[in-house]
């Protein structure tokens, strides 16, 4: 029986985590291969990287970017790389018919970057027309947890099975981020057959073909108007087509598929001994 030995360090979130991998390689095992997954802010916050950041890049044997557009933002264009998201659980991979209880579902950290202030504006301006389900915690959670508006339902946390059920009970997913390298909640909603209306980011462009499996809207002050128009102009027939195509697109982000691809990458890069 042949056994293959893999000697690899997989670093998630490049800087400064990479320093530990570099120290290990230099002091303990020169043969170890270093794979890095760039998730977003480890590139967004280093558009003009310092000398230490650039030095550590020299130790990368292979880079993984969670979206193609995130890779384009990396300062070094010539680098051995792949594009893989973190992957979504199989709990979200089953599209079921469910009675719609909510017009919109928002899932994520309730902070500035994820668009919590935008969400508050939407809830206020659409309070007489649409019902929102908000799932998450963060600096702006008090608005939702203390709200007396009948159009807002707030849940701090759901497990994956419960969350899948609520995606299926919602007509539209919302992603309102200012910056987003991928956005797994987009794929989660889509896998459940819930089309997503998303602000235009690296991550939303990677997943949504506007008017095909969801909608991309501009990063502008006319957010409420844009969302109103999407909902108003989407017929039942169009919506069903969006739902079907959204579920089909999300299948490629299943975590089992991602894991197989990453293990194949390990074998390709890191096998150095067989016995």
pLDDT confidence band for 275 (50 / 70 / 90): very low
The mean pLDDT of 33-54, rounded to a whole number, is: 96
The number of beta carbons lying within 10 Å of the beta carbon of residue 61 is 15
Nearest to 80 by CA among 275, 269, 270: 269
Query: What is the pTM assigned to this prediction?
Result: 0.94
Instruction: Return the bridge partners of 75, or none.
Output: none
Q: Across the chain, what does the average pLDDT equal? A: 94
pLDDT of residue 235: 97
Residues in the chain: 275
64-78, 138-152, 259-273, range with the lowest pLDDT: 259-273
pLDDT of residue 3: 65
pLDDT of residue 1: 52
Q: In what order do the strands lie in the sheet with 8-12?
A: 8-12, 33-38, 62-65, 81-83
Q: Is the pLDDT of residue 141 over 80?
A: yes
pLDDT of residue 97: 81
141-155, 179-193, 261-275, range with the lowest pLDDT: 261-275
Q: Residue 16 to residues 11, 23, 79: CA-CA distances in angstroms?
A: 10, 12, 19
The answer to whether 172 touches 106, Cβ cutoff 8 Å, is no
């Amino acid at each position: 029986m042949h056994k293959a030995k893999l000697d690899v360090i997989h670093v998630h979130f490049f800087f400064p985590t990479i320093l530990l991998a570099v120290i290990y390689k230099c002091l303990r095992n020169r043969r170890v291969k270093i794979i890095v997954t760039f998730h977003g802010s480890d590139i967004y916050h280093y558009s003009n990287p310092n000398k230490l950041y650039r030095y550590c890049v020299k130790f990368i044997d292979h880079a993984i970017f969670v979206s193609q557009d995130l890779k384009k933002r990396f300062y070094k264009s010539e680098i051995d790389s792949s594009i893989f998201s973190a992957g979504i659980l199989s709990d979200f991979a089953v599209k079921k018919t469910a009675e719609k209880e909510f017009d919109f579902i928002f899932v994520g950290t309730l902070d500035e970057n994820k668009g919590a202030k935008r969400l508050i504006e939407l809830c206020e301006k659409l309070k007489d027309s649409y019902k929102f389900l908000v799932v998450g915690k963060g600096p702006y959670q008090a608005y939702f947890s203390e709200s007396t508006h009948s159009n807002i339902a707030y849940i701090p946390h759901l497990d994956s099975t419960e969350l899948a059920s609520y995606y299926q009970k919602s007509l539209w997913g919302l992603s309102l981020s200012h910056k987003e390298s991928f956005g797994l909640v987009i794929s989660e909603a889509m896998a459940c057959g819930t089309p997503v209306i998303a602000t235009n980011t690296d991550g939303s462009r990677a997943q949504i073909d506007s008017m095909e499996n969801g909608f991309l809207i501009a990063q502008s002050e006319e957010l409420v108007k844009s969302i109103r128009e999407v909902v108003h102009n989407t017929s039942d027939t169009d919506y069903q087509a969006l739902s079907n195509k959204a579920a089909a697109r999300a299948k490629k982000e299943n975590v089992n598929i991602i894991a197989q691809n990453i293990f194949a990458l390990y074998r390709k890069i890191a096998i150095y001994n067989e016995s």
